[in-house]
A and B are shown apart, each in its own frame.
Chain A
Amino acid sequence: MATVVKKVLIGVAVLAVLCGVFQGYRLLWMETGWTRPFVVDDITMPSLRTIVERLFEENQPGGPPLVRILLDNAWFTAREALAGFLLGALIGLAIGTILHLSRLLRRGFLPFVVASQTVPILAIAPMVVIWLGGKGLPVWVPVAVIAAYLTFFPVAINTLRGLDSAQPRALELMRSYAASPWETLWKVKLPASLPYVFSALKVAATASVVGAIIGELPSSIQDGLGGAILNFNQYYSIDPAALWATNIVAATLGIAFFLAVVLVEKLVVRAAPEHVA
């Protein structure tokens, strides 16, 4: 318990320092009038106080406070991201396992897996929307697929690495017991791969949120954080705090996804403490 309290305290302290750096930079640049790398004023860097206050202001006269709207948006995006994350993780695990099992496929197919990530997601997203949109599917499906496109890659690569990481002696032991390839995969290689897989899932968790936000833009989805970012972007010169507030909510969502994976890892991985990535 004491370590949990300690971790929370350290987290709060780091957050406070970061806020201090932001406010300090802002104040220093405004006082001195420095213009490099950019002019600091209430538009380019609204104060944290303004941003937080903006969260609790009504967005439209008589409407709910901004934070209420943003949380609804975040909930919508979270569902897309979660669907994309799960889909991408499954595809990644499958690809990693198949490439592990077949040397031939690894040699032939791995370059294309890598190449898939060099194509900008912004170029792929509209195509996915056109392919999958308006087919009677829910509007969030193409967005989830775009999120999955960003998610599967780190999972596939690290699954492959993790399955390859089983110790030769551990595999020899299984061979001495006449274990089938399936048993060796299930009882040795898969458990040995979990620290690697979870490292990838942590990367993928945040990537899936980014993927969902980006996926919303060409889909013209208004209900998510992507829609909110696009919207507040247009009003930045008169209402910069709204976009900053949206970014804070989006970042918080990414952190929440990351922490969820950390929690599952703690429950699942029973490796020696020093092996936990």
Chain B
Amino acid sequence: MSTEAAAAVSLAGVTKIFERGQTHALDEIDLEIAPGELVSLIGPSGCGKSTLLRLVADLVEPTAGTITVAGKSAHRARLDRDYAMVFQEAVLYDWRTVAKNIALPLELAGWSRGERQRRVGEMVELVELTGFEKHHPWQLSGGMQMRVAIARALSLDPKLLLMDEPFGALDEMTRERLNLELLQIWEQSGCTVLFVTHSITEAVFLSTRVVVMSPRPGRIAGIVEIDLPQPRTFDTREEPRFFELVTEVRELLRGHLAAHGAPEEELA
């Protein structure tokens, strides 16, 4: 147990069965993530990668097994606001301006007005939205909305960032830019990131490790160490080693799809 206390996230024998429909979402998952890692979860639909993230976030409860975040139970970690979550949709509140959306966690944590303003100013600068503080979400592009969501998530300086396909709805160019920005933020803050994605190249480009999952029930098919040099740049995607790692992840995914006879289109 003493080694688990040092882990940023630790899952031991985690199983999740949804009562309705008797869906066996996750089966006996063991996973340990060290502080400062950026770990991606990848797999076809139905492999339970989003469920895994939501279990760590204490938004759903495991059927069996234990989950610890920074040495605490997931529940305690949520109440202590040890993590922040970013969803696939930006989930901004329409009736709040950009600044007020970013300030939401600070309000909930009881920060004073002055402290909030100062912090929101820093965050707006960090995600390069200076000048848009007074805009409302519907006046922003999808990429800008996601930047606001990331700024909101980072406003309380969380030790753990949980991201559920955050760039999945964005176009390729915006996605690649936000990937680089995320890496910069990750390097500066030193936080741990658990990142769910559908994209093999995104997973390889961002991560220190890629966890490949297989469906029905969700299991870990294999873990690929990404030994690409840090910091990653636009050129990283053109290195031969990048393609080797992409191939490795793809074959892990394909092997398990073939074994289960699932159609390959599931890997969008």
Contact = CB atoms under 8 A, between A and B. Distances in A.
A271 B95 contact: yes
A177 B59 CA distance: 11
A275 interface: yes
A21 interface: no
Contacts, number: 55
B232 interface: no
B9 interface: no
Contacts of B41: none
A113 interface: no
Given A172-B59, A176-B78, A177-B81, A275 B108 contact: no
Most buried by A among B78, B91, B95: B95
Interface stretch (A55-63, A78-86, A183-191): A183-191
Interface in B241-260: none
A195 to B, nearest CB: 10
B79 interface: yes
A270 interface: yes
A271 B84 CA distance: 25
Contact of A272 (B105, B109, B136): B136
B138 A173 contact: no
Given A169-B91, A183-B108, A187-B104, A178 B78 contact: yes
Contact of A271 (B78, B85, B94, B107): B94
B216 to A, nearest CB: 24
A220 B255 CA distance: 86
A277 to B, nearest CB: 14
Most buried by A among B89, B91, B107: B91
B108 A170 contact: no
The majority secondary structure among interface residues of chain A is helix
Interface string A152-191: 0000000000000001011011111111000100011001
B132 interface: no
Interface string B166-200: 00000000000000000000000000000000000
Contacts of B94: 270-272, 275
B102 to A, nearest CB: 13
A169 B89 CA distance: 9
A269 interface: yes
Interface in B56-96: 57, 59, 78-81, 83-85, 87, 89, 91, 93-96
Contact of B87 (A173, A179, A187, A273): A173
A170 B93 contact: yes
Given A176-B57, A177-B104, A270 B95 contact: yes
A191 B93 contact: yes
Nearest to A176: B85
A165 to B, nearest CB: 12
Contacts of A188: 93
Interface residues of B, number: 24
Given A183-B108, A272-B136, A176 B95 contact: no
A23 B89 CA distance: 56
A233 B108 CA distance: 60
B135 to A, nearest CB: 12
A174 B105 CA distance: 9
B136 A270 contact: yes
A174 B85 CA distance: 10
Contact of A179 (B84, B108, B137): B108
B188 to A, nearest CB: 22
A173 B88 CA distance: 12
Given A176-B78, A176-B85, A178-B108, A170 B138 contact: no
A179 B93 CA distance: 15
Contacts of A269: 95
A177 B95 contact: no
Contacts of A270: 94-96, 136
Nearest to B83: A176
B89 A176 contact: no
A179 B105 CA distance: 9
Nearest to B57: A176
Nearest to A169: B91
21 contacts: A169-B87, A169-B91, A172-B59, A172-B87, A172-B91, A176-B78, A176-B84, A177-B84, A177-B104, A177-B108, A179-B108, A183-B108, A187-B93, A187-B104, A194-B95, A269-B95, A270-B136, A271-B94, A271-B95, A272-B137, A272-B138
Interface of B: 57, 59, 78-81, 83-85, 87, 89, 91, 93-96, 104-105, 107-109, 136-138
Give 8 nearest A-B pairs by CB, closest first.
A272-B138, A176-B85, A270-B95, A191-B95, A169-B91, A272-B94, A178-B79, A177-B108
Interface of A: 167, 169-170, 172-179, 183, 187-188, 191, 194, 269-273, 275
